[in-house]
Amino acid sequence: MTTLPNDYLERVYAGVLGKLIGVYLGRPFEGWTYEKIMEQLGEITGYVHERLNKPLIVTDDDISGTFTFLRALPDYGNRRDLTAAQIGQTWLNYLIERRTILWWGGKGNSTEHTAYMRLKQGIPAPDSGSIATNGKIVAEQIGAQIFIDGWAMVAPGDPALAADLARRAASVSHDGEAIYGAQVIAVMEALAFVESDLNKLLDAALTFIPADSTIARMIGDIRGWHKQEPDWRKARALLEAHYGYDKYGGVCHMVPNHGLIILSLLYGEDDFNKSLMIVNTSGWDTDCNSGNVGCLLGIKNGLATLEGKVDWRGPVADRMYISSADGGRSITDATLESIHIVNAGRQLAGLAPEYPKQGARFHFDLPGSVQGFLSSADSVKLENVAGHSALGSRSLALHCQDVSAPVIVATLTGAPADIGAPPPYDMAVSPTLYPSQTIRAVLSADSGNGQPISARLVVSAYDAHDQPITRTGPAFSAAPGATVETSWTVDSDLISPIVRVGLQLDAPAAGTIYLDTLTWDGMPTLTLKRPARNSVRWREAWVSAMDHFDPFWYESFRVAHNSGRGMVSQGTREWRDYQVSADLIPHMIDAGGLGIRVQGMRRYYALLITRDRKIQLVKMLDSESVLAEADFAWNEEETISLRVSAEGNRLRAWANGKLVFDVQDTDNPLLEGAAALFCQDGSLSTDEVRIEPAP
């Protein structure tokens, strides 16, 4: 058992926020040179997205990859002996080819795309990323470094473990100097939980990489320049002269960008603002470099380092998107992801996981946390405050100042129309909240309020014609000093997807109300289909890993996959015991059917009919196994009614109303996940997919 820092969660949260701030800051001008930045923007002292007419909160490989690939730990039992091959399987599970997480720049151009193709071809990690397989130039690009922060944060105060995990994770796609650079960042971040001296962090990191490596030599040079040259701009010029892009091949090499990270940390003098200014003004891969710098300083110096003359946290509001094949995790926030990281770290240390406020999704128990909640009007200001919580130590204060019209304070649960997804990073997302689920909230009113405050739970969604609508629960009144527990089962006839949840404050209102927790539970009952002929928004709730999932067919779903098995899925990891059913019409398929407890591309159960007139209950867990099989006569263009249910480790399946399988999966069963339609080498259609609690 390893002793963890007392402030472990808070320091991880600061690291996650630092990563987000750094990425969002550098993303709008990624790839610019120092000269272009100085000419068009000047020194980067704050967010510039508005000047460049770009969104702040976006999908990005730095964020999605960092927090997705780390899921290899919980997926494989949070074991210290996690292998590179298992991390490679995690890539295959969560990546949707040419859509999510990576820059899909082509084999030989994009290191990560190249590694994915190797994995897909059956070449396991670490061979998938090795110099022997892909060549030195491809293997030594920057990606090993940009995805590495999470592996450090699960190893607080344990640089050896961080270096080892970083090596295994980086080797999926990279080799050589790229791995050394990733290990330096990981060791520094892991040790930053217990050591505040930057030079001691560098000294320790260098002990884990070869002394004759380019990374080690460059770090030595930069440290020497720092002792002799006080001007960071001149030091940057020296770095470019000795280790610039012209010295290394490929699109975005590790060495020059790693050099900018070290330079900005040394010349930044432990100041978050100055370090981010230097690393972003210096150019090259700005969002990647800035994200690593922000994460390290957040871990090392805590949340206080994010405060000061620049409002870094306010515009971000904890918001982040993680686009992957596990769409129910795509809408998330810095607090939620920090808890996932900390619980992986706790289990690596031999400790049980912990969840603030009994696992409430929104608990605001970290200083400054708002978990994506925003106010629709200036008359209501949000502030994370100490106290006013029955189960924790903090709450979200809603300060009402002469509210004369209803104001909504809400956070995302799905993809709104204006969600930022700049090329080349698609947004694959399923809603986290569904009709027929029950929302629960605990609130209290400030004892100094002059009158009760009236409010109600609220959700935002789209109607059948893609117009935004809101639905509200019953009104409740919070008298001064009173605590209120309220719940509302969301209208079952509401057209999915739900994109926001929160509170509506009724007018008039003055004073402060504190939101302690907001969460929801219950397995939804849903009929998922196109609500109207020209409706589009309903499709955004489905994660497509299908070659064709087109909107113009007569049926709600007419899907086709040209080679191999494709899927469209919807749901979350909170879906456990339920059933999925549909009336399917196969048009020309090798196999097709329904999926349940889908956790990505290579973790699911499927009920499939096959071209050789069989029906199978299949389990995919890295590789495929058939749990049950029977003869089943079917014809193309004729309707087949399929239903599959999961309850605990018991799986049952019906075809045309007849029970065909009733099996128990006792070998590492999948216990949660989304529903799906599968289609293999052909096309099939249905008008609706039905989701219900298990019978």
CA dist., res. 378 & res. 560, Å (int): 48
> What are 400-419's pLDDT values in tens digits?
998 999 999 999 999 877 77
pLDDT value, residue 2? 67
Task: Provide the pLDDT confidence category of residue 153 given band limits of 50, 70 and 90.
Answer: very high
Given a cut of 60, whether residue 421 has pLDDT beyond it is no
Residue 658 pLDDT greater than 60, yes or no: yes
Question: Do 321 and 59 contact (CB within 8 A), yes or no?
Answer: yes
Structure tokens at 122: 């059956």
| Residue-level length of the chain | 695
Residue 141 near residue 251, CB atoms below 8 Å: yes
Domain end: 270, 305, 321, which one?
A: 321
> Whole-angstrom Cα distance, residue 45 to residue 275?
10
pLDDT digits (tens, 9 = 90+) for 450-478: 999 999 999 999 999 999 999 999 999 99
Q: Where are the alpha helices (DSSP H) in 27-81?
A: 34-40, 61-69, 72-75
Measured from the Cβ of residue 156, the count of other Cβ atoms closer than 10 Å reads 28
Q: 623: pLDDT confidence band, cut at 50, 70 and 90?
A: very high
pLDDT of residue 418: 72
CA distance 527 to 494: 11
Kindly report, residue by residue over 346-376, the tens digit of the pLDDT: 999 999 999 999 999 999 999 999 999 999 9
User: What does the pLDDT average to over 46-54?
Assistant: 96
- The pLDDT, as a whole number, for residue 426 is 81
- Please, where are the H alpha helices in 57-120? 61-69, 72-75, 84-94, 111-120
Percent of the chain at pLDDT above 70?
Answer: 99
Do 672 and 570 share a domain, yes or no? yes
Can you tell me whether residue 361 is helix, strand or coil? coil
> Within 349-464, where are the H helices?
none
Confidence (pLDDT) at 55: 92
How large is the C-alpha radius of gyration of the chain?
A: 26
Q: Please tell me the distance from the alpha carbon of residue 598 to that of residue 670, in angstroms, as a whole number.
A: 8
> pLDDT tens-digit profile of 476-490?
999 999 999 999 999
Q: Is the pLDDT of residue 70 over 80?
A: yes
Tell me the average pLDDT across 21-45.
97
614-621 and 603-610 strand pairing: antiparallel
- Same domain flag for 684 and 562: yes
Task: Answer whether residue 1 shows pLDDT above 70.
Answer: no
**Chain centre distance of CA 245:** 31
Strands 468-472 and 453-462: antiparallel
Check pLDDT > 90 for residue 424.
no
CA–CA separation, 552 vs 565, rounded Å?
A: 22
Boundaries of domain holding 229: 8-321
Residues 50 and 199 in one domain: yes
Per-residue pLDDT tens over the stretch 248-257 = 999 999 999 9
* Surface-to-core class of residue 480, CB atoms within 10 Å of its CB (0-12 exposed, 13-18 middle, 19+ buried): middle
Last residue of a domain, one of 471, 491, 521: 521
Residue 537 covered by a domain: no
- Cα 348 from Cα 150, distance rounded (Å): 13
Distance separating the N- and C-terminal Cα atoms of the chain: 42
> 386 vs 493, which has greater pLDDT?
386
Tell me, what's the pLDDT at 425? 74
- Per the omega criterion (within 30 degrees of 0), is the bond before 551 cis? no
Cα angle 94, 98, 99; round to 5:
60
> Which amino acid belongs to residue 302?
G
State whether residue 278 is helix, strand or coil.
helix
d(CA 278, CA 273): 9
In angstroms, rounded to a whole number, what is the distance separating the alpha carbons of residues 100 and 355?
Answer: 29
Do 205 and 114 share a structural domain?
Answer: yes
Amino acid 423: pLDDT: 59
CATH number reported for the structural domain that contains residue 547 in this entry:
2.60.120.560
Closest CA to 603 of 30, 75, 38: 75
Q: Is the domain of 553 the same as that of 474?
A: no
Q: Is the pLDDT of residue 34 over 70?
A: yes
Are the C-beta atoms of residues 470 and 456 closer than 8 Å to each other?
no
Mean pLDDT of 406-434: 85
- Whether the bond between 159 and the residue before it is cis, its omega within 30 degrees of 0, is no
pLDDT tens-digit profile of 104-148? Answer: 999 999 999 999 999 999 999 999 999 999 999 999 999 999 999
Shared domain check, 649 and 587: yes
10, 308, 384, 385, 565 from 369: Cα distances, Å: 11, 17, 6, 9, 41
Are 309 and 196 within one domain? yes
Q: Say how far apart CA 285 and CA 22 lie, in whole Å.
A: 12
- Specify the number of domains making up the chain: 3
pLDDT tens track for 81-95: 999 999 999 999 999
Query: What's the CA gap between 461 and 497, in Å, rounded?
Result: 6
Say if residue 432 is in the same domain as residue 365: yes
CATH value at residue 436:
2.60.120.260
The two tokens of residue 235 are 């030091």
526 belongs to a structural domain? no
Residues 315 and 445 occupy one common structural domain: no
Residue 622 in any domain: the answer is: yes
- By the 8 A CB rule, do 448 and 388 touch? no
Give the pLDDT confidence score for residue 427 in this predicted structure. 86
In a domain, 367, yes or no: yes
- Does the residue 535 lie in any domain? no
Q: Is residue 225 domain-shared with residue 130, that is, in the same domain? A: yes
Task: Report whether 479 contacts 444 (CB < 8 A).
Answer: no
Choosing from 521, 552, 583, the residue where a domain stops is 521
Q: What is the pLDDT of residues 512-556, one digit of tens each?
A: 999 999 999 999 999 999 999 889 899 999 999 999 999 989 999
Tokens 């790839």, residue located: 31
Same domain, 458 and 571: no
Residue at 440 is within a domain: yes
Mean of the per-residue pLDDT values of the chain: 96
58-78 mean pLDDT:
96
Record the tokens describing residue 46, joined without a space: 């704050």
The whole-angstrom separation of Cα 122 and Cα 412 is 38
Confidence (pLDDT) at 74: 98
In this structure, are 371 and 280 located in the same domain? no
pLDDT at 183 over 60: yes
3-state secondary structure of 176: coil
pLDDT band at 224 (very low <50, low <70, confident <90, very high): very high
Say if 591 falls within a structural domain. Answer: yes
CATH number at residue 174: 1.10.4080.10
Asked whether residue 345 is assigned to any structural domain, the reply reads: no
